[in-house]
Amino acid sequence: MVEAVQVQLKKGVLELCVLALLSREDTYGYEIASRLTEGIGMGEGTIYPLMRRMQSDGLVGTYLVESPSGPSRKYYRLTDFGRTRFEAQKTEWTAFSAAVDAILKNASLGGAK
């Protein structure tokens, strides 16, 4: 059960992190995978199903960039809808994590007594 909650939490957070990363700059799959998954502790492969889902939800768009070495590379960019979703989720997350922090701080004060 705890495991299930953790995985769900991570999946939700991963989407928010992808939105955050793309809100700064357009980037490609390997870059997203290597920068995000390690810290959160998810397999790098989970990025691609997530990117496909986000693309069909209309949160991100793609375009190809010619590469000097090898095949052209697929870049992801945030759509307007994605940007709106990012702002909304960021606000939600900030409020949520502040509330959890406050509770944890209270608990540790209580424990010190």
Partner 1 sequence: MTRQDFIARLRAGLRGLPPAAVADILADYETHFADGASAGRSEAEVAAALGDPDRLARELRAEAGLRRWEAERNPSAAASAVFAVLGLGAIDVLILLPILLWVFGVLLGLFIAAVALFGVGAVVMVAGPFVVQTAPALALILAGLGLVAGGACLGSLATIGSIGCTNALTWYGRLHLRLLKPALDAQGSL
Residues in contact with partner 1 by CB under 8 A are 1, 3-4, 6-8, 11, 28-31, 33-34, 37, 43-46, 48-49, 51-53, 56, 70-71, 73-74
Of 48 and 105, the one with the shorter C-beta distance to partner 1 is: 48
Please identify, using beta-carbon distances, which residue of 2 and 112 lies nearer to partner 1: 2
Question: Which tokens in the block code for residue 74?
Answer: 């697929």
Quote the least distance from Cβ 23 to partner 1, whole Å. Answer: 22
Shorter beta-carbon distance to partner 1: residue 8 or 97: 8
DSSP-derived secondary structure for 11-41 = HHHHHHHHHHHHHH--EEHHHHHHHHHHHHT
Nearer to partner 1, 73 or 83 (CB): 73
| Shortest distance, position 91 Cβ to partner 1, whole Å | 23
Strand 73-78, strand 60-65: pairing: antiparallel
CA atoms within 13 A on the CB side of 33: 13
Shortest gap between Cβ of 71 and partner 1 (angstroms)?
Answer: 7
Q: Of the candidates 14, 23, 28, which has an alpha carbon nearest to the alpha carbon of residue 79?
A: 23
